[in-house]
């Protein structure tokens, strides 16, 4: 297998967001995800990377190829040291509507992946972990 | 600074988005387009995303904004060539882009623009599709 | 610290162990009904012993998740996959691993000599390790089986969601059966790709064969409609029965301007009009 099973990249500039997308695209391709699944994962990564950069004032993306019951997947962790999320319920409000795009990052990204975990404290940053299985 | 080129396609303006845009580039495009619409007094804009393999909420919002800005400046906008995987993902993301007209390709997009402009000129209701 | 006894025994007596194991496997060959050749079986056995002798240097009880065990895990994944395709059951596949115990323990016994404690210890370690590898093989087998079943289900779903070209620029997709999330994904992918392929302008979703329409089904329909619109194709929903019309109104579902028709013929007539074609009566 050509890629190492894990890696890290910064999310401290707009170019980093583009790089993050490219990294996730490459990884999902290597894992043999279908085109739709690749696109979903790359899009989710773009949303969360942007959140970390704009709301989170900069952060890091840690990626890992994971295995569970002989099934392989891609796990992405977006961590920032920003202000944290004061109202988690509001932030995760699920609304499948023709929205205006505001605050859609989290609830939208959640629908694009298999596993979604979020941990955030006001004043102590936010960590979002998503996984997509093949 | 790099920018996305805006071409004249007959009476309309054509923007072909091929690169993986970073946010600033997208905002620059919005700005450039607004000025180009005004400068050319054009009535129609085509945004071709047929080679774009990913559209997220930022780009989606940018397109919706361009459509709105264009309308205020007197131009209709049509988004053309969205790839199936991108459409499926956008729908799952919750973005339906209701105010943005769409077409399968540039040719259909131009036909749609023609119909809208003619329709507007003869005061008929404008419709999507 | 990992104990290298197992590894040493495997390296020293590998040939004898393989020979004994191959004999046992050959007698089970009779039961395999020719699903696998003796040559392939022996080749797999030899490779397994080699991988095991390397990996067992780092043996840590029943934990085979470490990087040292990746080559052997990958090997077993491959073996499981081919066993699935060859038509073996999961326990037949696991027996491949477990049948190594007999010749392996025999080698461990001659290595331990009179030291009963040492032997008991090594046999336990070997059991833990082989059991863990056997379990992994079963899991890998199940995963392969699932993949085969999923693929077959998908193929069936695709077969039962045929996209039909009714006219130039007009596609129809008769949906039969319940519209759940898996089905919707298949419908969307098939239909959208066909739209690009044929350059269709209008897609008619015929729901005559969909038994009930509740909020979830309505949502799935809307997803398909929205995705089509984003690509620049128009949608007409046909086969809307009176009960469904009532359900849609009562649920307050917003069809977002999609035209609905009671039957396919009406939908086709409308589609023809919209694409500028017409059929003379």
Which ipTM did the prediction report?
0.90
Residues of chain A neighbouring C80 (CB-CB closer than 8 A): 70
Strand, helix or coil for residue B80:
strand
Q: Are the CB atoms for A56 and A105 separated by under 8 Å?
A: no
Domain annotation covers residue C139: yes
Average pLDDT estimate for B46-52 = 96
DSSP alpha helix (H) spans, chain C: 5-32, 38-55, 70-86, 90-98, 101-112, 116-159, 181-198, 215-231, 242-251, 264-275
Cβ C193–B84 below 8 Å, yes or no? yes
Q: State whether residue A102 sits within 8 Å of chain C by CB.
A: no
Would the pLDDT of A56 be above 80?
yes
Note the pLDDT of residue A96: 37
| C234: three-class secondary structure by DSSP | strand
Q: Looking at the partner chain, which of B23, B53, B92 has a beta carbon nearest the beta carbon of A111?
A: B92
Q: How, if at all, do strands C170-176 and C202-209 pair?
A: parallel
Give residue B123's pLDDT. Answer: 61
Residues C143 and C202 in one domain: no
Of the candidates C118, C151, C184, which is a domain's last residue? C151
Whether B128 is covered by a domain: the verdict is no
pLDDT at C281: 47
pLDDT (0 to 100) of residue A68: 81
CB contact under 8 A, A39 and B61: no
Task: Report the predicted TM-score, pTM, of the whole model to 2 decimal places.
Answer: 0.74
Based on the fold, state whether residues C113 and C147 are members of the same structural domain: yes
Query: Is C156 a domain residue?
Result: no
Residue C217 lies in a domain: yes
Among residues C151, C186, C203, the one where a domain terminates is C151
**SS3 helix, strand, coil % of chain A, rounded to 5?**
35, 30, 35
pLDDT band (50, 70, 90) for residue A104? low
Answer yes or no: is B1 within a domain.
no
Residue C158 falls within a domain, yes or no?
Answer: no
Tokens of B117: 């402009």
| Residue A97 confidence (pLDDT) | 35
- DSSP-assigned letter for residue B56: -
**Does position B117 have pLDDT exceeding 50, yes or no?**
yes
pLDDT of residue A101: 40
Q: Indicate if C128 and C25 belong to the same structural domain.
A: yes
Domain that holds residue C78: 5-151
pLDDT at C1: 45
Same domain, C138 and C11: yes
Expressed as residue numbers, the domain containing B74 is 6-121
Most confident of C153-157, C236-240, C256-260: C236-240
Residue C142's closest CA among C90, C83, C79, C82? C90
Tokens of C168: 């130039």
pLDDT at A35 exceeding the cut of 70: yes
pLDDT band at B128 (very low <50, low <70, confident <90, very high): low
pLDDT at A95: 47
Look at residues C101, C124, C151 and tell me which one is the last residue of a structural domain. Answer: C151
> Could you report the per-residue pLDDT of B1-21, keeping only the tens digit for each?
578 999 998 899 999 998 888
CA dihedral A86, A87, A92, A95 (to 10 degrees): -130
Quote the pLDDT of residue B126. Answer: 52
Residue of A nearest to B55 (CA): A43
The torsion angle over the Cα atoms of residues C95, C98, C102 and C108, rounded to 10 degrees, is 160
Same domain (yes/no): C144, C199: no
Q: Is A62 helix (H, G, I), strand (E, B) or coil?
A: strand
Neighbours of chain A (3+ CB pairs under 8 A): B, C
Partner residue facing C226 (CB), from B84, B86, B96 = B96
Contact B82 C228 (CB under 8 A): no
Residue A94 pLDDT > 70: no
What residue in B sits closest to C196 (Cα-Cα)? B104
Lowest mean pLDDT among A89-103, C57-71, C175-189, C217-231: A89-103
pLDDT in tens, C24-77: 888 776 566 778 888 888 899 999 999 999 998 887 888 888 888 999 999 999
Residue among A18, A25, A112 minimizing CB distance to B93: A112
Nearest to B78, CA basis, from B51, B55, B110, B50:
B110
Per-residue pLDDT at C238 exceeds 70: yes
Q: Is C157 within the bounds of a domain?
A: no
In terms of domains, do C205 and C118 share one?
Answer: no
- What is the count of structural domains for chain C? 2
CB distance B53 to B82 below 8 Å: no
Q: C280 in a domain, yes or no?
A: no
Q: Tell me, yes or no, whether C29 and C145 share the same domain.
A: yes
Length of chain C: 281
Q: Is B57 helix (H, G, I), strand (E, B) or coil?
A: helix
Across the B:C interface, residue pairs with CB atoms under 8 Å apart total 64
Q: Is residue B127 part of a domain?
A: no
Average pLDDT, chain A: 86
- The partner residue sitting opposite C189, judged by closest CB among B84, B105, B128, is B84
For residues A51, A54, A58, A63, the Cα torsion angle rounded to the nearest 10 degrees is 30
Taking 90 as the threshold, does the pLDDT of residue A87 lie above it?
Answer: no
Say yes or no: C87 and C210 in one domain.
no
| Chain B residues closer than 8 Å to C219 by CB | none
Total structural domains within chain B? 1
pLDDT of A98 over the 50 cut = no
CATH number at residue B66: 3.30.750.24
CATH code of C123's domain: 1.10.490.70
Average pLDDT, chain C: 87
Judge whether C159 lies within some domain: no
What are B71-92's pLDDT values in tens digits? 999 999 999 999 999 999 999 9
What is the rounded CA–CA span in Å between residue A100 and residue B39?
A: 29
Domains and CATH numbers, chain A: 6-133 (3.30.565.10)
């Amino acid at each position: 297998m050509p890629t190492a099973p894990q890696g890290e990249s910064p999310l401290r500039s707009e170019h980093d967001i583009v790089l993050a997308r490219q990294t996730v695209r490459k990884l999902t391709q290597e894992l043999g995800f279908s085109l739709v699944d690749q696109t979903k994962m790359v899009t989710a990564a773009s949303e969360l990377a942007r959140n970390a950069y704009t709301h989170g004032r900069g952060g890091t993306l840690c990626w890992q190829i994971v295995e569970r019951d002989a099934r392989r997947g891609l796990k992405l962790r977006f961590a920032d040291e920003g202000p944290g999320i004061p109202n988690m319920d509001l932030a995760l409000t699920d609304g499948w509507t023709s929205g205006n795009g505001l605050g859609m990052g989290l609830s939208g990204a959640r629908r694009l992946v298999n596993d979604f975990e979020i941990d955030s404290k006001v004043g102590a940053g936010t960590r979002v972990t998503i996984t997509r299985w093949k | 600074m790099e920018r996305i080129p805006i071409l004249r396609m007959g009476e309309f303006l054509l923007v072909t988005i091929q690169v993986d845009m970073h946010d600033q580039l997208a905002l620059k495009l919005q700005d450039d387009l607004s000025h180009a619409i005004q400068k050319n007094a054009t009535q129609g804009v085509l945004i071709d995303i047929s080679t774009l393999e990913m559209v997220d909420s930022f780009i989606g919002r940018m397109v919706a904004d361009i459509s709105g800005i264009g309308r205020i400046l007197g131009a209709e906008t049509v988004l053309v060539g969205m790839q199936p995987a991108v459409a499926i993902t956008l729908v799952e993301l919750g973005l339906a882009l209701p105010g943005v007209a769409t077409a399968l390709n540039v040719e259909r997009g131009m036909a749609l623009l023609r119909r809208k402009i003619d329709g507007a000129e003869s005061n008929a209701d404008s419709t999507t599709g | 610290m990992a104990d290298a006894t197992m590894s040493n025994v495997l390296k020293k007596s590998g040939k004898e162990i393989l020979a004994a194991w191959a004999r046992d496997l050959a007698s089970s060959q009779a039961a395999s009904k020719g699903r696998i050749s003796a040559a392939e079986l022996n080749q797999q056995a030899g490779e397994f012993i080699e991988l095991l002798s390397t990996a067992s240097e780092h043996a840590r009880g029943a934990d085979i998740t470490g990087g040292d065990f990746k080559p052997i895990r990958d090997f077993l994944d491959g073996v499981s996959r081919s066993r699935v395709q060859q038509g073996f059951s999961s326990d037949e596949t696991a027996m491949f691993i477990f049948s190594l115990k007999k010749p392996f323990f025999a080698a461990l016994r001659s290595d331990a000599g009179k030291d009963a404690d040492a032997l008991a210890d090594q046999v336990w370690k070997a059991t833990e390790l082989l059991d863990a590898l056997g379990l992994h093989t079963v899991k890998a087998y199940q995963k392969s089986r699932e993949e085969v079943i999923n693929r077959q289900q998908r193929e069936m779903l695709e077969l039962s969601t045929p996209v039909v070209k009714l006219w130039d620029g007009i596609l129809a997709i008769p949906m039969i059966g319940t519209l759940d999330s898996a089905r919707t994904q298949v419908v969307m992918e098939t239909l959208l790709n066909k739209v690009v392929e044929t350059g269709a302008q209008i897609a008619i979703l015929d729901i005559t064969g969909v038994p009930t329409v509740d909020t979830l089904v309505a949502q799935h329909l809307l997803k398909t409609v929205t995705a089509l619109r984003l690509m620049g194709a128009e949608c007409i929903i046909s086969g809307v029965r009176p009960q469904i019309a009532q359900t849609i109104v009562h649920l307050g579902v917003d069809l977002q301007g999609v035209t609905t028709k009671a039957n396919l013929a009406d939908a086709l007539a409308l589609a023809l009009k919209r694409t500028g074609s017409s059929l003379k009566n």
